[in-house]
């Protein structure tokens, strides 16, 4: 694990969660959809999820670094708009897969590919309907010491190790033994 930063475990009432909330290990990511490193971390997270199965709860919070990534906040809006139509995780994965082309045309194409109401989704992105939700995630991250993306917490403790399969899996697996 990394430094002393600790935060509350994600809540099913406010967070996007995959897996059982009562799983022995919670992996929380603060991410930015336009971040190259977040995109690189996605396959690692998927493999860790596959390996741990019901022993892992994964959660994602928005941390758009808008000064560096001008499309990060609209992409987060699109993920939230997709969530309102029941497809957060599907949009999440599509955005990370093509993190270099997150303009409104691509966001609309993602919505269409997922069978979502693309006019509604783009309207919500344009009106920044979910801006408060995204800012709340960002503020929680800042309070927990997040200063880059991706930033991971395992059972509330910041993970500052290498973003490679073996070290991440080892850190997560260690928590199943605690």
Buried b (16+ CB within 10 A) or exposed e, 31-45: bbbbbeebbebbebb
Mean pLDDT of 64-76: 96
The set of residues, in sequence order, having a beta carbon less than 8 Å from that of 12 and lying 6+ positions away, is 21
Model confidence at 7, in pLDDT bands (50, 70, 90)? low
Contact at 8 Å (CB) between 63 and 137?
yes
Query: Longest Cα pair distance anywhere in the chain, in angstroms?
Result: 48
Average pLDDT, the chain: 92
Q: Residue 155 has what pLDDT?
A: 92
Per DSSP (E only), the strands in the chain are 16-18, 25-31, 56-62, 151-154, 157-159
**Model confidence over 137-165: pLDDT tens digits?**
999 999 999 999 999 999 989 999 999 99
**Model confidence over 13-46: pLDDT tens digits?**
788 999 998 999 999 999 999 999 999 999 999 9
Model confidence at 6, in pLDDT bands (50, 70, 90)? low
What's the pTM?
A: 0.92
| DSSP state string for 110-125 | HHHHTT--HHHHHHHH
Query: Which of these, 63, 88, 57, lies nearest to 140 by C-alpha position?
Result: 63
Extract the tokens encoding 116. 């979502």
What's the CATH code, domain 16-177? Answer: 3.40.30.10
Q: Residue 138 has what pLDDT?
A: 96
């Amino acid at each position: 694990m990394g430094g002393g930063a600790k935060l509350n475990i994600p809540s099913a009432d406010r967070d996007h969660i995959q897996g059982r909330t009562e799983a022995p290990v919670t992996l929380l990511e603060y991410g930015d959809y336009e971040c190259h490193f977040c995109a690189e971390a996605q396959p690692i997270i998927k493999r860790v999820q596959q390996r741990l199965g019901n022993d892992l709860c994964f959660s994602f919070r928005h941390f758009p670094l808008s000064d560096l990534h001008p499309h990060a906040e609209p992409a987060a809006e699109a993920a939230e708009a997709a969530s309102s139509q029941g497809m957060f995780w599907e949009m999440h994965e599509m955005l990370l897969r093509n993190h270099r082309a997150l303009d409104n045309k691509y966001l609309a194409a993602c919505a269409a590919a997922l069978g979502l109401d693309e006019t509604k989704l783009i309207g919500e992105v344009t009106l920044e309907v979910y801006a408060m939700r995204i800012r709340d995630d960002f503020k929680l991250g800042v309070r927990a010491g997040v200063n880059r993306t991706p930033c991971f917490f395992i059972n509330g403790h910041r993970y500052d190790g290498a973003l490679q399969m073996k070290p991440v899996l080892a850190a997560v697996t260690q928590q199943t033994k605690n």
